[in-house]
């Protein structure tokens, strides 16, 4: 596999639809399935790029909407692009800004040309089009960029979902026509809400335009968990088998394993970082609420099976003290651990696929030993 920006399925699990793959990008190879920590404003909150590398993070996600508003894509381009701006030399994916624009329903107006919205920072008026979204993402210089779409809110009527999905298809074509940055992958996004026929039509139309990868959008936005699984399980096998499949905004460790078994390759979610800042930590023995008073004198590490920096050096008592004292160090140590947990989870998932035992992993409690690469 010598071509830049190519994707290869290296192994298929014998008992599920899970795939082990490798995606080549300008800033390096990505092993899939992969989880992408979210760095909304060009920063994975509380962590440095070195923290991310120390925990085997291969790719991070940035947000077009936020970086457009502040500091501005022109400034970032002038300073050498997003990688140089943030001191990160591994792959970056930028989302198109669609979700953020549409999540502020009281601040925006939609028409076929694009979306008029007001900045959440200073109230200034802006007009985002598919072409502008691509222009911003090209200026940022991300390795993978997304089309500008209209994420369908939940709940939505069939009629609204149909109209919205058709608009996403039109915008996808405009994004493809506008995109011309060499060495940059452009992913299409499938919409359709919770309606199978609309999902099927969206796949047909988006794949017909032709993209370097395909995302399943509009899920994990308030629908029941089983609805999310149903739509993912229905949509993923409709997508080209030789292209990466990205489930946007998902999820919990259990969600990731379940959706990997359906053939999904890429995930992002704020859960590990946001939960860390709220004192909720993932361990091999389940979730831990670090503010719990029972940890006040506990000399044990957070997770005896984990060798992240936090677990190797600090006690539960100290972590609790930092958190209840509102110390900034608490946020960093908690986030290091949660990111390490998620990277260990993905490594275990990839190992399970290679050994054709993902179904076993799905049916037992997660107990991850969490070795860093090179320490196995």
From the candidates 255, 265, 268, 303, which is the catalytic residue? Answer: 268
Model pLDDT for residues 330-363, shown as the tens digit of each residue: 999 999 999 999 999 999 999 999 999 999 999 8
Concerning whether 268 is annotated as a catalytic residue, the answer is: yes
Task: Provide DSSP, 62-113.
Answer: EEHHHHHHTT-HHHHHHTT-HHHHHT--S-EEEE-SHHHHHH-GGGEEEETT
With a cut of 50, say whether residue 373 has pLDDT above it. Answer: no
pLDDT band at 97 (very low <50, low <70, confident <90, very high): confident
pLDDT tens-digit profile of 281-312? 999 999 999 999 999 999 999 999 999 999 99
> CA torsion sign, 70 to 73 to 77 to 78?
negative
Average pLDDT in the chain? 94
Q: What are phi and psi of 216, to 5 degrees?
A: -100, 110
Residue with the bigger pLDDT between 152 and 190: it is: 190
Q: Which of 95, 149, 265, 303 is catalytic?
A: 95
Question: What is the average per-residue pLDDT within 165-174?
Answer: 98
Condensed to tens digits (0 to 9), the pLDDT of residues 220-233 reads 999 999 999 999 99
Structural domains present in the chain: 7-269 (3.20.20.105), 276-362 (no CATH)
CA distance 116 to 114: 7
In this prediction the pTM is 0.95
Asked if 42 contacts 69 with a C-beta cutoff of 8 angstroms, the reply is no
How many angstroms separate the CA atoms of 307 and 93, rounded? 28
């Amino acid at each position: 596999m010598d071509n830049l920006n190519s994707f290869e399925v290296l192994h298929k699990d014998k008992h599920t639809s899970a795939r082990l793959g490798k995606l080549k990008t300008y800033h390096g190879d990505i092993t899939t399935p992969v989880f992408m920590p979210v760095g909304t404003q060009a920063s994975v909150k509380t962590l440095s790029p070195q923290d991310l590398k120390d925990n085997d993070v291969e790719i991070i996600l940035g947000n077009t909407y936020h970086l457009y508003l502040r500091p501005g894509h022109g400034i970032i381009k002038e300073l050498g692009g997003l990688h140089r701006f943030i001191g990160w030399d591994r792959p970056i994916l930028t989302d198109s800004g669609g979700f953020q624009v549409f999540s502020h329903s009281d601040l925006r107006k939609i028409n076929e040309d694009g979306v008029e919205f007001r900045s959440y920072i200073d109230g200034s008026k802006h007009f985002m089009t598919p072409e502008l979204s691509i222009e911003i993402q090209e200026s940022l210089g991300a390795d993978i960029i997304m089309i500008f779409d209209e994420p369908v809110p939940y709940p939505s009527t069939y009629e609204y979902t149909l109209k919205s999905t058709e608009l996403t298809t039109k915008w996808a074509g405009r994004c493809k026509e506008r995109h011309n940055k060499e060495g940059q992958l452009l992913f299409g996004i499938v919409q359709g809400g919770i309606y199978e026929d609309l999902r099927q039509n969206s796949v047909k139309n988006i794949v017909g335009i032709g993209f370097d990868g395909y995302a399943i959008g509009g899920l994990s936005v308030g629908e029941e968990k089983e609805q999310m699984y149903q739509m993912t399980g229905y949509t993923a096998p409709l997508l080209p088998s030789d292209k990466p499949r990205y489930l946007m905004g998902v999820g919990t460790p259990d969600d990731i394993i379940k959706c990997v078994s359906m053939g999904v390759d890429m995930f992002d979610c704020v859960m590990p970082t946001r939960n860390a800042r709220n004192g909720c930590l993932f361990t091999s023995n389940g979730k831990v609420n670090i503010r719990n008073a029972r940890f006040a004198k506990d000399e044990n590490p957070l997770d005896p099976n984990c060798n992240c920096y936090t677990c190797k050096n600090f006690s539960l008592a100290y972590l609790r003290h930092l958190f209840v004292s509102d110390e900034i160090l608490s946020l960093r140590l908690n986030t290091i651990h949660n990111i390490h947990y998620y990277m260990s989870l993905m490594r275990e998932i990839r190992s399970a696929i290679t050994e054709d035992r993902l179904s076993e992993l799905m049916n037992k409690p997660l107990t991850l030993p969490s070795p860093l690469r090179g320490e196995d």
